Structure 1
Amino acid sequence: MSRAVFVLSTGRCTTQALARAVADLVPGAVVEHEGLKARYMPRRVYRKPQALARALERSGEIEAKFREIEDLIANGRRYVDTGWPVYAWIPYLRSRLGDAMGFVHLVRNPFDFAASMLTHRFYVTSNGRYKKQGVIFGTDKKLIHSALAAGWEGFSAYEKCLFHWLELNAFGMECHDLPGFRGLYRFEDLHAGDGVALRALLSELSGAVPDAACLPVEDKVHVPLREPIVVSHSLLFDAVIAQAEALGYDGARLRAGYDPKALAQRYGAARWADRRRRN
């Protein structure tokens, strides 16, 4: 059983609630949601082995975190990071930690994900490390979808969120061939009434046998959507659908269900006003 387990995701995938659930299951474990946050510099090192090496040399914080994890493993403790900014380090961590390291791939419906991500104004403002060093840009090097990224400057902010989803989930599938891969999970299945997927995921993360049958949606920062939902690039849309199908989604249902007006209403100000009234 792996002693250090990571969640590879795009973000906006209920990882805050997962961290809390795992911590409750294994009180002696060290459970973090985004251990170093964007200080992992994932965009800078994404699919660039030489950049990974330079980052370790220059950032004592990253090296210290990895040594902390190694010490926990050596002392029989369990470490779990459910946050998304560690994504670019997954292959390196496997090579460094060996059989003590495992990871799962967590994915969410692309259109819901992009709307949720856009509420935080990614690709709208450049303020903050998450927006500069966390997410993928079409102008970056070593992209899987570099040809598609040629239209990056013309993408809407919502389309840029979709591109981030597309690129990172393609990378996630690249990582499936690594030893230590513990399965693909879908956000929607975790919130299904039967609790089967949730129990399986919590078991992988915690090493314990959970009895949880539901997972609350948890988000410490509630922000209403203020940006338009616009998809005008058909090649991007088709690539997202194809990637979703590879991840087990029903492509025809996703295509038919894409409704910008409904998404804007669900993630808009009315939704958060209603939540405030209920709370």
Structure 2
Amino acid sequence: MTVYFVISTGRCGTQWLTETLQQWHQDFMVQHEPLHFGYRPDLNTVQHPLQANAELLEQHLVFIRQQLASGKIYIETGFPCWRHLNWFRQQLNCPIRVIHIHRDPLDTVASLLKLNAFVPPVLPHLPVKNLYMPGAEQDLLHQYKELWPLLNPAEKNLWYWAEVQWQALNYQQQWPEQDWFSLSFSQLFSEQSKLQLAAFLDCSTPLFWPALKKVDQFGLGLVQTSAEYPHLSKLKEIAVLAKQLGYPSPFASKS
């Protein structure tokens, strides 16, 4: 059997994709964010995937194995697993195939801010929704980690976007070409992507492909935040990465 993981920042249509793929084949076991933030991508890293919530992650591994043993094709679409794809590849004795969904960096930041990602909470006793924390020396922007406390929420979201994309591109170099499929959020809902996904998932072309009427209809940020990038705009790595994925620099002049 085969296991599929989606790697993304979140806010890239994965809830829609989950509900769509659940209708495609009776042998598909499709789960969206099964552990939610239990993956702890703010604390766990690719090199040390079990620093936090090791027992929970091991239990999830057992669950996936059970699905495979029952004849299911397991598909996980949630964003928090992005640090753990190598770990799954080492632990599961089956092909691990990856769908990388990427999105324009500024659109991603705007969407994540709707969920108050990295935004200081209104009530001081509530935790900050940290989707990522700098730490791993292999991260793209590790050398600038002293900047992190100085960044506003938009900058932290953009930093997070860069790290996920950087890790995805690193994974892609290690994966067999036939086990990796990349597409942009803007392409996801197209007829062409339906055909490409069906081929990648080794299933017949499905009839179920619901039209997307709304984008980002969920979430409304409680705290209004600046969308300026005074610190990150000085770093060339993010602009280079955006260009590599086919997007304009997030720091391009608006004049």
User: What TM bracket, shorter-length normalisation?
Assistant: 0.7 to 0.9
Partner of residue 47, structure 2: 48
Q: Give the total of aligned pairs.
A: 245
Indicate the residue corresponding to 2:87 in structure 1: 92
Q: Shift of residue 190 of structure 1?
A: 1.5
Question: Would you say the 8 A contact 1:5–1:81 is kept in 2?
Answer: yes
- Deviation digits for residues 85-133 of structure 1 (CA, Å, limit 9, x no counterpart): 11111011111124332112111000000011011111113645x824x
Q: 1:177 aligns with which of 173, 180, 183?
A: 173
Contact kept? 1:73, 1:100, Cα under 8 Å: no
Identity over the aligned pairs, expressed in percent? 22
1:75 to 65, 70, 77: 70
Normalised to the residue count of structure 1, the TM-score between the two structures is 0.77
Partner of 1:145: 141
| Distance apart, 1:239 and its partner CA | 2.6
The Cα shift of 1:75 comes to 2.3
* Kept in 1: contact 2:104–2:247 (CA 8 A): no
Aligned equivalents of 2:253 and 2:27: distance in 1? 43
The 1:250–1:44 alpha-carbon spacing in structure 2 relative to 1, beyond 3 Å, is closer
Match of 1:11 in 2: 10
Q: Residues 156 and 174 (structure 1 numbering): CA distance in 2 closer, same or farther, change over 3 Å?
A: same
The letter for the 2-side match of 1:18 is: L
Distance apart, 1:54 and its partner CA: 4.7
| Deviation for aligned residue 1:46 | 1.4
Cα deviation 1:173-213 (Å, max 9, x = unaligned):
11002335422111011245xx2124313543574423456
| Residues 57-105 of structure 1 deviation map (CA, whole Å, 9 limit, x = unaligned) | x643221111111121122211111110111110111111243321121
With normalisation by structure 2, the TM-score equals: 0.84
1:221 paired with 2:221, answer: no
Is the alpha carbon distance of 1:255 and 1:201 closer, same or farther for their aligned partners in structure 2, counting shifts above 3 Å?
farther
- Verify: 1:197 aligned to 2:196, yes or no: no
CA contact (8 A) 1:199 1:213 kept: no
Q: Any unmatched runs of 5+ in structure 1?
A: 260-279
SS of aligned partner of 1:103:
strand
CA 1:227/1:53 → structure 2, altered by over 3 Å: closer, same or farther?
closer
- C-alpha distance in structure 2 between counterparts of 1:258 and 1:123, whole Å: 25
For the 8 Å contact 1:123–1:160, the answer to whether it is kept is yes
Whole-angstrom distance in 1 between the partners of 2:103 and 2:211: 15
1:154 corresponds to: 150
> Which of 99, 106, 115 is equivalent to 1:120?
115
Alignment-mate amino acid for residue 244 of structure 1: A
4+ runs deviating over 4 angstroms: 211-215, 217-220, 254-259
1:220/1:250 CA distance change after superposition, 3 Å: closer
Query: What pairs with 1:183-262 in structure 2 (closer than 5 Å)?
Result: 183-192=181-190, 195-205=191-201, 207-211=203-207, 215-216=211-212, 217=214, 221-224=218-221, 226-233=224-231, 234-236=233-235, 238-247=236-245, 249-251=246-248, 256=252
Q: Distance in 1 between matches of 2:201 and 2:144?
A: 34
Deviation at 1:28, TM superposition (A): 3.5
